[in-house]
Structure 1
């Protein structure tokens, strides 16, 4: 039997998932939580095999932060993201946080059961949409995955750019000239195969330098 904790800020969604899953396909819903903080406490109390985690829970700790904390405090628990966000930024952030799977709420019942079964067995599970996004990212530019080629200073500049700092503000933070900042920025784009500042921000989000709550 696979013990599951359902985490979602909507009671109707939690109830619906419990009705859909409980006692079926060797799955048992052993608890519910309305936000990330409650989820962390329930994991300590109930020790589920899988946490079915929503991303957007505006009235408490969100799913990304909760997933990061759970993987620190309960690394053996598998986290399956179940969300309405068909957005690659959220996908990459979820993977970075330690989630074992990513599935859209619009997915068929059979996909949800398969996802829970897979992550409970220690495997990864991505929805077809998520898999396609990963493949597109790979095919769009293999050079964009080469974070290791950046120098420590270039990584610092990239992080400040992603957080919205101007060249002057970056220079003040790192105690370097604006001209030097521009040089680092140019080197970043060349090494990563990117062309614009928005491209840099998007790349940084996928590397976990900025978070989307």
Structure 2
């Protein structure tokens, strides 16, 4: 069973997400909070697998709440940002802070539940076109990827990650074993100094390693 914590200051949004998540046999809502200040205490108490995180909340936004989860917890839940606008600067900053992906509030119920399952497995929910737009608008190049000295194979893997391919899809494209791809991904994350695939892809666009 995948536990989900809902963090949103809009009661109607919380009710809608609760109904969508609660209707699935493998998902359960472990709790709800109305502000970013309440996310960390609730995560400590309830131990959710995934947080559906609104980025705009009154006292503490979802960006800072995401940072606190990653800084304070040894095994933090995955964060799935729920937003109104795909090109919101808050979304980009939330991805940089460690969110595993984002959803629009107008997403269909089946998209929301599948997104929860994807990030709960440790994968990232990436929309390459949206990440490109966000990186172009809010992230000037800093060259860090080039300085990481990736191998030729790691560069290939990172490029395919930026195209939104899963490990299995990358393995098929490069004719490698999935475990080999996982090892390359782990090496890339370590060299770039990032937590997960989402941050790696954002950094790849931001640095200019992958063309905008």
TM-score between both structures, scaled by the size of structure 1: 0.61
Aligned residue for 2:61? 62
Match runs of 1:62-211 below 5 Å? 62-74=61-73, 75-87=75-87, 89-126=89-126, 128=127, 131-135=128-132, 144-147=141-144
Secondary structure of the 2:106 match is coil
Return the offset for 1:109: 1.3
- Unpaired stretches in structure 1, ≥5 consecutive residues: 151-205, 208-213
Aligned residue for 2:46? 46
Return the offset for 1:135: 3.8
**Deviation digits for residues 111-164 of structure 1 (CA, Å, limit 9, x no counterpart):** 1111100110000003x4xx2133457899xx93525789xxxxxxxxxxxxxx
Return the offset for 1:92: 2.1
Alignment RMSD, CA only?
A: 2.8
- CA–CA distance in structure 1, aligned partners of residues 15 and 46 of structure 2: 18
* Equivalent residues, number: 147
Secondary structure of the 2:76 match is coil
Aligned residue for 1:9? 9
Greater C-alpha Rg: 1
TM-score between both structures, scaled by the size of structure 2: 0.62
- CA–CA distance in structure 2, aligned partners of residues 61 and 137 of structure 1: 22
